[in-house]
């Protein structure tokens, strides 16, 4: 982002909201927007900046969620430690996925990433003795910051806001730094990048590993906030698609795009579900149809994502642009 | 000692031998032309020197150090830069960002890289296009961009695959002058070229390939009169 004002405005609104808003439903929405925005931004490091379209990032999200939940319930270890353990595990798995990305191109890589998350789903749902299997794990509520037992949603807003700003800064770094330029080159044309002395393979693997670790951190915080880890949710393809969709909708390979995309998706989904999804309303499921149509229209008229689309109309440069 | 040495390089693709036992030396400051009909193995040889292909036999050395077996990015960092026959600009990046990628191989400072990129764009005559996206450039401008990008890696030897291929007649003299200037300033160049008028005018030495083998190696005068070169490639004795 050459112009940081939209991002400043976005994060300022998020920071000021808890001072004014008391409504738990709205605060919950804000927390989810920031949480999904951060997750999509973490995905964006690999999918946007390195051009490795992963559809298996829920693997890392799930690793983060499970690490903290298991360490917490089995040994009473702080979720902050769990966050680090999850990030380390995800980094290791990220290296494996990065290694795959050097062997598989395009759709084959995408398919491999789906398989990757589904293998972890199988492990989590079948290894009953350790993970409680498909029942999932309720995260016990132990009050305090060290145990992340926080009832006040306003505190959660600031906690997740810190994560979101951190992720945003990672993206800004990728926009401006030497490594960012090199990654952009690898994304555009790997052979040409190699011919100019860019260690393309190492760079891609590093980007995927960092993306994995950050996604795991989001997974940990999400599990602590929601209070329950369900293997069929945290390792789902749906979740992977959500990260990817938010980033693409907002503007892939831009720092603020994932947050904007997450905001649109979360608000749309929540409001449509509240409006049409109620039991007995006779319209269960119609929100999915409207949701789908809105996404199709956005992609039709703003294929590069909302942020570049708005940017072109306001004449500022939102970033390196789309992968093309 | 020679700057680049190609020794007994052989490369096979299945039953086809693209390069057979090719050897030659490049002295510092030389501009060597590589000629030969389509399919004679010129581009394969470039791929091998730049590390994209690994030869089945033989080796390439730069200043005595072995290049064979290294990855293309290592080869570049050791001082061998190249352009591509089929041009490969980073289409979605701006022209100056394209060149910065090359410059960032030699510096970690983004601002310094940008200044360096602008200098090089000035040098190849693309300054006014600096902020344009590379996809908007004409073929001639793309050639200049690839040149600037390769130069940004501060090569000791530059491999150019078809300087004048695919550009219109009016653009050729400017590109040729650019190559001459680079050579005059001391850069060592290895140039694949089909345009005989161009290559005989700029090259000090010409290596001719035919069906993967080296069939001649000498001054333009000697090579263009060589019986085998005439038969295999030129069709008749080439006179300016």
Rounded Cα distance, A195 and B51, in Å? 9
Q: Is the pLDDT of residue B238 over 50?
A: yes
Q: What is the pLDDT of residue B82?
A: 95
User: φ and ψ at A193, to 5 degrees?
Assistant: -60, -45
Name the more confident of A303 and B30: B30
Name the more confident of A140 and B157: B157
Domains: count for chain A: 1
Residues in chain A with CB shorter than 8 Å from the CB of B110 are 176-178, 181
Q: What is the pLDDT of residue A275?
A: 73
Q: What is the pLDDT of residue A94?
A: 93
Name the more confident of A287 and A269: A269
- Domain containing A148 equals 5-237
Domain ranges across chain B: 1-79+155-240, 90-154
With an 8 Å Cβ cutoff, are B76 and A200 in contact?
no
Q: What is the pLDDT of residue A140?
A: 79
Nearest one of B169, B172, B97, B162 to B129, comparing CA atoms: B97
Nearest one of A72, A53, A38 to A213, comparing CA atoms: A38
Residue % of chain B over a pLDDT of 70: 98
Encode pLDDT of B159-174 as tens digits. 999 888 888 888 888 8
Q: What is the mean pLDDT of residues A50-61?
A: 91
Closest approach of chain A CAs to the CA of B118, in angstroms? Answer: 16
Residues in chain B with CB shorter than 8 Å from the CB of A185 are 90, 93, 101
Indicate the range of A31-45, A139-153, B91-105 predicted with least confidence: A139-153
Chain A interface mutation, best of B87, B92, B112, B134, highest count of A Cβ atoms under 10 Å: B92
Q: What is the pLDDT of residue A215?
A: 96
Rounded Cα distance, B187 and B29, in Å? 6
Q: Is the pLDDT of residue A125 over 90?
A: no
With an 8 Å Cβ cutoff, are A197 and B102 in contact?
yes
Indicate the range of A16-25, A32-41, B98-107 predicted with least confidence: A16-25
Q: What is the pLDDT of residue A321?
A: 45
Partner B contacted by A2 (CB < 8 A): no
With an 8 Å Cβ cutoff, are A191 and B91 in contact?
no
CB contacts < 8 A (A, B): 89
Partner B contacted by A312 (CB < 8 A): no
How is residue A62 written in tokens?
């799930």
Encode pLDDT of B37-46 as tens digits. 988 999 999 9
| Mean of pLDDT over chain B | 92
Q: Is the pLDDT of residue A324 over 50?
A: no
**End-to-end Cα distance, chain A:** 19
Rounded Cα distance, B224 and B216, in Å? 9
- On whether the CB atoms of residues A207 and A95 are closer than 8 A, the answer is no
How far is C-alpha B71 from the chain's CA centre? 18
Nearest one of A132, A141, A316 to A229, comparing CA atoms: A132
Residue A180 lies in a domain: yes
Alpha helices in chain B (DSSP H): 42-49, 72-77, 95-103, 110-124, 139-151, 172-184, 196-202, 220-225, 227-229
Q: What is the pLDDT of residue B34?
A: 95
* DSSP code, position B15: T
Q: What is the mean pLDDT of residues A195-224?
A: 94
């992720």: which residue's tokens? Answer: A167
Of A181, A195, A324, the CB nearest to B50: A195
Classify burial at A318, counting beta carbons within 10 Å of its beta carbon; exposed 0-12, middle 13-18, buried 19 or more. Answer: buried
Name the more confident of B27 and A232: B27
Q: What is the pLDDT of residue A315?
A: 61
CATH T-level fold of B1-79+155-240: Rossmann fold (3.40.50)
Closest approach of chain B CAs to the CA of A68, in angstroms? Answer: 38
- On whether the CB atoms of residues B67 and B78 are closer than 8 A, the answer is yes
Of B71, B101, B153, the CB nearest to A182: B101
Q: What is the pLDDT of residue A317?
A: 52
With an 8 Å Cβ cutoff, are A181 and B149 in contact?
no
Q: What is the pLDDT of residue B72?
A: 96
Closest approach of chain A CAs to the CA of B188, in angstroms? Answer: 17
Indicate the range of A126-130, B204-208, B216-220 predicted with least confidence: A126-130
Q: Interface pTM (ipTM) of the complex?
A: 0.93
Residue A321 lies in a domain: no
Residue A304 lies in a domain: no
Encode pLDDT of A281-294 as tens digits. 556 667 778 778 87
Q: What is the pLDDT of residue B68?
A: 94
Residues in chain A with CB shorter than 8 Å from the CB of B82 are 195
How is residue B126 written in tokens?
């693309």
Chain B interface mutation, best of A102, A172, A175, A196, highest count of B Cβ atoms under 10 Å: A196
Name the more confident of A168 and A309: A168
Residues in chain B with CB shorter than 8 Å from the CB of A2 are none
Q: What is the mean pLDDT of residues A241-246?
A: 89
With an 8 Å Cβ cutoff, are A200 and B73 in contact?
yes
With an 8 Å Cβ cutoff, are A178 and B52 in contact?
no
| Mean of pLDDT over chain A | 85
Encode pLDDT of A76-104 as tens digits. 888 898 899 999 999 999 999 888 888 88
Residues in chain B with CB shorter than 8 Å from the CB of A188 are 90-93
Indicate the range of A61-70, A279-288, A293-302 predicted with least confidence: A279-288
With an 8 Å Cβ cutoff, are B92 and A191 in contact?
no
């Amino acid at each position: 982002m050459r112009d940081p004002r939209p991002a400043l405005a976005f994060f300022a609104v998020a920071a000021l909201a808890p001072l004014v808003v008391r409504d738990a439903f709205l605060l919950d929405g804000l927390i989810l927007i920031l949480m999904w925005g951060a997750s999509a931004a973490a995905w964006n490091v690999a999918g946007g900046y390195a051009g490795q379209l992963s559809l298996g990032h829920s693997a890392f999200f799930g690793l983060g969620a499970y690490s903290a939940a298991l360490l917490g319930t089995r040994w009473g270890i702080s979720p902050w430690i769990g966050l680090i353990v999850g990030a380390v595990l995800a980094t290791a798995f990220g290296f494996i996925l990065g290694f795959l990305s050097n062997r598989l191109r395009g759709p084959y890589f995408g398919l491999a990433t789906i398989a990757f998350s589904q293998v972890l789903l199988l492990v989590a749902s079948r290894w009953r003795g350790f993970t409680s299997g498909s029942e999932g794990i309720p995260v016990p509520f132990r009050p305090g910051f060290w145990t992340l037992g926080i009832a006040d949603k306003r505190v959660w807003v600031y906690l997740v806001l810190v994560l979101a700003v951190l992720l945003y800064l990672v993206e800004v770094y990728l926009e401006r730094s030497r490594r960012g330029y090199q990654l952009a080159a690898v994304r555009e044309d790997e052979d040409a990048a190699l011919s100019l002395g860019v260690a393309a393979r190492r760079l891609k693997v590093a980007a995927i590993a960092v993306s994995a670790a950050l996604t795991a951190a989001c997974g940990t915080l999400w599990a602590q906030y929601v209070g329950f880890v369900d293997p069929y949710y945290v390792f789902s393809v749906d979740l992977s698609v959500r990260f990817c969709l938010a980033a693409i909708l907002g503007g892939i390979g831009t720092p603020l795009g994932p947050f904007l995309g997450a905001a649109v998706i979360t608000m749309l989904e929540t409001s449509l579900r509240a409006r049409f999804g109620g039991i007995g309303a006779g319209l269960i499921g119609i929100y999915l149809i409207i949701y789908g149509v809105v996404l199709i229209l956005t992609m039709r008229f703003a294929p590069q994502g909302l942020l570049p689309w708005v940017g072109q109309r306001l004449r500022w440069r939102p970033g390196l642009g789309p992968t093309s | 000692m020679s700057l680049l040495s190609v020794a007994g390089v052989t490369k096979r693709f299945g039953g086809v031998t693209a390069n057979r036992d090719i050897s030659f030396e490049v002295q510092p400051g030389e501009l060597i032309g590589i000629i030969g009909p389509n399919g004679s193995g010129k581009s394969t040889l470039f791929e091998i020197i730049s590390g994209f292909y690994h030869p089945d036999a033989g080796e390439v050395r730069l200043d005595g150090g072995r290049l064979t077996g290294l990855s293309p990015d290592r080869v570049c960092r050791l001082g061998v830069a190249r352009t591509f026959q089929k041009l490969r600009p980073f289409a979605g990046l701006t022209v100056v960002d394209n060149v910065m990628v090359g410059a960032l191989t030699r510096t970690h400072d983004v601002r310094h890289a940008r200044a360096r990129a602008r200098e090089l764009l000035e040098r190849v005559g693309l300054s006014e296009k600096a902020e344009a996206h590379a996809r908007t450039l004409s073929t001639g401008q793309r050639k200049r961009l690839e040149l600037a990008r390769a130069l940004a890696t501060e090569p000791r030897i530059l491999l150019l695959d078809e300087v004048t291929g695919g550009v219109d007649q009016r653009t050729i003299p400017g590109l040729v002058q650019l190559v001459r200037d680079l050579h005059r300033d001391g850069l060592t160049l290895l140039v694949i070229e089909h345009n005989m008028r161009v290559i005989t005018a700029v090259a000090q030495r010409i290596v001719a390939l035919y069906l993967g083998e080296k069939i001649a190696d000498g001054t333009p005068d000697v090579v263009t009169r060589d019986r085998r070169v005439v038969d295999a490639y030129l069709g008749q004795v080439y006179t300016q």
